[in-house]
Amino acid sequence: MSRADPRSCRGIRDQGERRITTRPARVDPGFGFEWAGSPARGVPADRFSVRWEGLFRAPESASYSIFLVANDGVRFVIGGETVLESFEAPQGSRNFYGSSEVRLDAGYHRLRVEHFEDLGSARILCRVGVEGREAPLRLADHLFHAPEPQK
């Protein structure tokens, strides 16, 4: 599971010049969503962003293929490496489709997925394939809470 942290999108769009409104974090079973309206209580239907942080467990040392559909923007960071990113100008109702490959050792890797919605429909869908396997991973079996950071 991953921790979601819905925030206002304004901080991203305006380079942090405006106040970012932080909402209470919650736990999601994953990070695949299609939102017709607000993603969470207290968050507007448009101009919001969400950040999921957790751990991805790679079942074997292999090349992993990551496929993302996002509306509007997305950034996918695993093990500190940004492997997919589309944070360009707002895309309205258009989707971003992207894929990338990353080599991972078996074990746990820090995962951070950031998504922002400007206007219209909002979605983020993800599939992860493993070199040599026909079916994509069942992501719910491979996502875990990150331990709380040490102070």
Nearest CB to Ca ion, comparing residues 47 and 112 = 47
Among 47, 120, 125, 136, binds Ca ion (CB under 5 A): 120
What does each C-alpha distance from 41 to 6, 23, 74 come to in angstroms?
Answer: 10, 9, 22
Nearest CB to Ca ion, comparing residues 32 and 120 = 120
To the nearest whole angstrom, how small is the minimum distance from the Cβ of residue 94 to Ca ion?
A: 8
44 lies in the binding site for Ca ion (CB under 5 A): no
To the nearest whole angstrom, how small is the minimum distance from the Cβ of residue 14 to Ca ion?
A: 18
Burial code (b: 16+ CB inside 10 Å, e: under 16) for 135-146 equals eebebeebbeee
Q: Which range binds Ca ion by CB under 5 A, 12-20, 49-57, 71-79, 99-107?
A: 71-79
Judge whether 73 and 88 are in contact, CB under 8 Å: yes
* DSSP-derived pairing of the beta strands 143-144 and 81-86: unpaired
Among 49, 55, 68, 72, binds Ca ion (CB under 5 A): 72
Joined tokens for residue 37? 């309206």
User: How many amino acids of this chain bind Ca ion (CB under 5 A)?
Assistant: 3
Nearest CB to Ca ion, comparing residues 4 and 122 = 122
To the nearest whole angstrom, how small is the minimum distance from the Cβ of residue 123 to Ca ion?
A: 8
- d(Cα 103, Cα 70) in Å, to the nearest integer? 23
Block residue for tokens 């069942």:
138
Among 66, 71, 75, 111, binds Ca ion (CB under 5 A): 71
- d(Cα 132, Cα 30) in Å, to the nearest integer? 24
The contact set with Ca ion (CB under 5 A) reads 71-72, 120
